Structure formats: C-alpha cells, structure tokens
Structure 1
Amino acid sequence: MNLATTIITFLFVFGGIVWFHEFGHYFFAKRAGILVREFSIGMGPKIFSRQKNGTAYTLRWLPLGGYVRMAGWGEDENSLQPGQPVGLVLNDAGKVAQINTSSKIQLPNALPVEVTHSDLEKALTISGYVAGLGGNVQTYSLEHDATIIEEDGTEIRIAPIDVQMQSAKVWQRILVNFAGPLNNFILSLVLFILLVFMQGGVQYTNTNTIGEVVADSPAAVAGLKSGDAVLSVDGEKISSWPDLTTIVAKSPEKALELEVKRENEELAITLTPKAVESNGTTVGQMGVYAPLKTDLASKIIGGFQLFADNSLAIFKALGSLFTSFSLDKLGGPVMMFQYSQEAAQSGLRTVLALMAILSVNLGIMNLLPIPALDGGKIVLNILEGVRGKPISQEKEGLVTLIGFVFLFGLMILVTWNDIARYFFQ
C-alpha cells in the first residue's frame, strides 16, 4: 500500500507539473497561429487519440506528464522518405487529403504509392509510383490541411511552412517558449496560496503571543495556552516570535523559566523543550505555533511571500552550483520519487507543498540560457530580433544538439548519483 501510494503521489506531482508546463506552450502556440500537431497526456505507446481543430489529442501508456508537438519546433518531423510505401486518399478535387504511413491501419480507398519525392512544407506535393499504373511517376497536390497517419496509428496534420514555429513573429515565439515556465510559476503560486488557506491563514511572527499549542507537547505539559504572551525566557526579553524560537532551538532538554502574561495575570512557567533532529542537528522544540492572520488579503499575500521565498532559495542554490559544484546538490526522477514517498506519508498538504516547490524549480531551471531548454530558445529568439534575420537552421540545430547532449549526459550522472544515494546509503 505504501508503494502504491508513493507511485500515485509521484505520478500526480511529476505528471502534473510537466503537463501544466506543456499546456502553457500549447495555449500560446494556438494563439499565435502555430499548428500544434499533437498534445499528449503521458508518454510511450498510444492508447487513444482524437483529432480536433488540427490537433491530435492523445493518451499514452506512461503517465509521466506529457508533451506538445508544435510544427517546426524541436524534433518535429515533417517528411517522407524515398522508397517509402504510403496510401493516399484523394478528395473530390483530386488532391491528397490523407497520407497513411502505418502498416497497422488499412484504408480501402487509398492509392498504394511508393514515394520518390515529397514536399509537405512549401510546394505541398507528393510524387511516386502508383501500383497498377505502370512505371510512370505520378505527382499529386496536397490539401493545406491534409493529415498523415504515423506508424503508431496517430493521425496528425501535415505542417506547411506558414503554420510552423519559425513563421510566427519573434515576440510570439518568445512568448510561446516562455509560456511553459510561466505556467509553472502560476501553478506554484496558486498552490502556495491554497496551502495558506488550508493552514487557516499566514503566520504572524512580529509578536510574542502564542497562536496554537500542540496537544501533549512540552508546552501543553507545562501549562501554556493559546493567547499567552511570552514576556521573557530565562530573564531574556521576548518581543517577537524569532526571539522565542531561537532560544528554544538552542536549549534541547534544558529547563527554561518563562515569564508569561495571560490576560491580566503574569505567570512563571518552567518548560523543557523536546530534543528533535533537524538537518543533522539536535534542536529544542516546545510544540507551539505563531498566531495566524486569517483575513483574505493576508492569506493571498502570504502565498505570494512563500512563492518569493522559495524562488529566492532556488536562485541561491543555483548560485552555489557555480561556486562549489556537486552532483549531490542536484536531483532527478529518483530523488523526486523519494521526496514523493516522504510527502505521501505526511499527508495532502505536504504533497501540495512538494508540488509547488518542484513547479517553481522546473520553471526557473527551464529559463536557464542553455540550448535545448526554453531559456536557450528565448536567447536565440532575442538574437534573431536584434540581428533582424533568423539564425540558419543548421547553426540552430547544432547549438540545440550540443545543449541536448550536455543535458542528457548531466541527467545520466544525476540519476546514477540519486540511485547510489537512495539504494546504497
């Protein structure tokens, strides 16, 4: 049951943030007039597909996020090979409306053709030998919105040059590339705000008043109550929540003398903080929470503050990679699985917190100016805008390939390091 819960949590967290990232690309590509040939939920072999408004919506077996396939973007393929057998379905005007390249699907009204030449982007023609028509090459024109059935049976639109990524304006391409990380930021912010609402409000720390006392904790045993104001600890004046927590953290299993004000009465209470492990260090814990601000504005502002704090922490972590690089500072799917296991054991709030942190992490990492990442693509878009002309596809492809090889190699090293830490330590 624990393993099943962990797997479900991992798929929910990892799949959710990746799907939301890809949906950002999808939404803004559609708005820019770029053909989205496929939007997939999951990876691997196809379970189901349906084509609507030029996009094939597919469901695939591996529920690990998904992907969006835009015309002329990334590894999108839009060609047929000489000698390739295909079936062509013609419309009433004699133009090709459908190209079948799959051996799994038979179209009874399709012309069997052995391709000699094709241009699915500009001329929109396909030439080849037609069975039963002798040895002459026949050439057919394609409908602009013709579809092609791929080997796995997925039917997608062909991608004429006017609906490809590079035909959109530079600012539109920048927005499409930025939209994935933007969606991750939006998801993270919404989840942090939701967490504050689930918590009941945002902690107010500029006070010495206790908000909640945990049952059976050292504070409860000592007689502290919600609403008590801690005036001093061992004679040291307390004016804010950090003042209190700092002293308590430094005093595990040490008796502390607290001066407490309860309504109009001042009390002397002896409390011994419990010793707990935190990041490899033993600290004291008394079992109290700061009071909460419960008004709507405070909750929303609190969500924004959590988002900002976690974003800043990620930037600091990135900075430390440049000053003292270590694979232990990076994590891949194996580490995410481990975090999912810990979160699943702690409950829904911890799962949502993990999802929020990983989502903003994914957004920031994808904006790094590394070829093959969204940030690298944005840099190329900006360079094109400055130069006033596009970078050659050969150069862009080479730069992207270098970035992909770098990221793939780093992913292998990080994954191996995660496996070593997770299974052998």
Structure 2
Amino acid sequence: MEQTWRWFGPDDAVRLPQIRQAGASGIVTALHHIPYGVVWSVDEISRRRDMIAGDPVLGLRWSVVESLPVSEAIKLGEGNLASLFDNYRQSLRNLASCGVTTVCYNFMAVIDWTRTELAHGLPGGGTALRFDAVVYAAFDCYILERAGAEAEYPDDVLNRARRWVASASEADKDSLLATIMAGLPGAYDRYDVPGLRRMLARYHGIGREEFRANYARFLREVVPAAEECGVSLCVHPDDPPRDLFGLPRIVSSADDLQFIVDACPSVANGITFCTGALGAGHQNDVPAMAKRFAPHIRFAHLRNVSKAPDGSFMEADHLGGDVDMVAVVKTLLKEQSRRRDAGHSNWRIPFRPDHGHELLDDIGRGTHPGYPLIGRLKGLAEIRGVMTAVAAIGGLPM
C-alpha cells in the first residue's frame, strides 16, 4: 500500500520535508484556491505537481487529489448544469494529462465532515476531534432553530441540549458554529446562522431519493470521461454517516455504497474507504464492508473512532477505538495481491493516516483541525507496523 499524506499546499504548517521524515512518499492535496466549479487548468495542476516533486532527494509525488469538489448546484440538481459538468470533466482530463489519476471527492450537501469540538482534552494534554450528539442537537434545535428538528431527537438528548444552550455564552455559540464549519478547508461558502438557514432552505423538498437521483446523474455525466482518460474517481463516505440538519446523507452505509457502484458500473467509479467516517455509524460493520467492496476501493483513509450509545464519537488512536484496523489492513493487502496477480499496472492502494491527535510540539502550532504532524506520524508508523506484520505472515505484497 502506498503511504501518503494529506497536504494543504504551500500555506500548510506541515512542510514537505517533514512529510518525508514521517515516511510518506505520496502527497494527497487539492487546489483549494480555485473556486468550486472552475476548471483546474494544466498550468495550475503542473505548478502544484512540480512543487511537490521539486526536490528529487525527497522522492515525493502528487498521488491523490483530495478533493475535486462537486458544486452545490450539481448536488441540488439546480438549473442548467451543462457547463459545470463540462468543467468537471475537463479538470479530470487535465489532471490525467499531468499524471494525477486518483481523484477523491464527496457528495455531502452544504457541509463536509462535522464535529462539535476540535480540541477535546486527552490524558497528558493532547487533544482530539469529537462529535457530541447533545451539543449538535443544541445547535440544530436552539441556535439554528431548524423547523421540526426537535421531533428527531429523544427526550433525554433534548433535555441535555437545552441545558447546554442555557449555560452557553454567545462566544460559546459562535465557537460552535465555527467548529461545525471547520471541515471545509477549501470552501468558499462559510455560513453564519442566517446564511446556513438560507442554504438549507434551498434543499427543501429534496429527500433521500431525490438526492440519490442527483448523485446518479453526476456519475453518469462524469464517470465515462474519467474512464476514458484513466482516472479513478473515489467517493468519500459521509462524515458522520447520518443525516445532518435535515439534509439527506447518501454515502453512509453498505446499501449506499452498493447503490453507488451499481448506479454507474465502471472501473472509474470507485470508493475512498474511510474507516473513521464509516466507523462512526453504529449500523456499519467496517471490516465486513472492506471485504464486500474491496474491488471498488481506490483510496483508503485509515483512522479510528470510539462511539457512545447516543451517537457521540471521538477520534481514537489509529489502532484503538471500535474499528478492527488489523482486519481492514489485511483485506486491503489481499486485494492488492489480487490486483497484482491479475496484471493490473496500478495495483497498489494509496492510503493515508487520517485525522490524528494533536500531541507534543504540535499543540498550538496552528495546523488544520485534525491534521497535526505528530499525531498523524504516530498513526502512520502504527499502520506501517500492522502492514509489515500482516504482509510477512500472509506472504502478501506491501
């Protein structure tokens, strides 16, 4: 498996030489400065690619795009989308012409990954990302004041949510909104509460089936172009894998993944297998899903979560938490071996250590939420150890 690392570009506090020190050779990045829906030009792509590969001693390459964003209008199925589909297809062709052929994206409406706390304290002083179901309900029902929201929560959660709001200062409420928006590192749309209400209103009348239809249309429009130019598109699961703010989430379960691969059968229509996003859902048996969808996995995010019965969860150590990481790694290595034996040229599956704890000298350094240097280095080292052991025992290629 190719060891990769998410890098947010030249403004990232984590530098390319440090990524090489961590042991990664593939870079996962995106052109966050380009607005959604605008073509990624060959010049812009080449500039980023050459920046990554500029020091031959480091031996780094741009391995995966994360993400080539899908415009909100496409998700909404709103208006004449021909130019947006054309632009997406052209960006795929331009990436392929520059040698970048694995493209991660998501189909989450309005907001990306969502947490209620970016620095939950750990023993010894480290911090972790956390999603608190009660605090989320407090925001949804009593700050956002979404119509009908209270009917979606049990009484116990609502009672605790009311107590949280009653004790929260305006600064606490503002901080919570900023935290909820933090999952969008390259987004141009960040909302205040009235703006979020207006954005949610645009989705009025779009339920699960309508949203699925819009997604299937997107796949039909772009997957043939991806296949033609040798690009592997790989959708990232919803994070968390549950409806949020009344918006349908349709990449959250095994049934959802099956719908996606069936909606447009193609080698170019693949999955980013994120053990943390899927692992946050009580309905998901992550190792079983890895086995079921192994032929469709083009990229992997390996991280772990610890869940609570009320729907809360926290980022755990990469080899801790509720997901059997060893079982998942074993499945990915076996799938690699199958691809190699079948004669596939790109048989290695790129993976990256996803969200890490903020530890040691990273505390207060100002890295992107969830993406500190040391916590991810620790996770990569742990996963590398699992890979080495599993490969040796099973006679599998790494």
Q: Smaller-chain TM-score range?
A: under 0.3
The TM-score, its normalising length taken from structure 1, stands at: 0.23
Name which one, 1 or 2, has greater alpha-carbon Rg.
1
Larger strand proportion of the pair: 1
The TM-score, its normalising length taken from structure 2, stands at: 0.25
Between the two structures, name the one with larger relative contact order (CA 8 Å, sep ≥ 6): 2
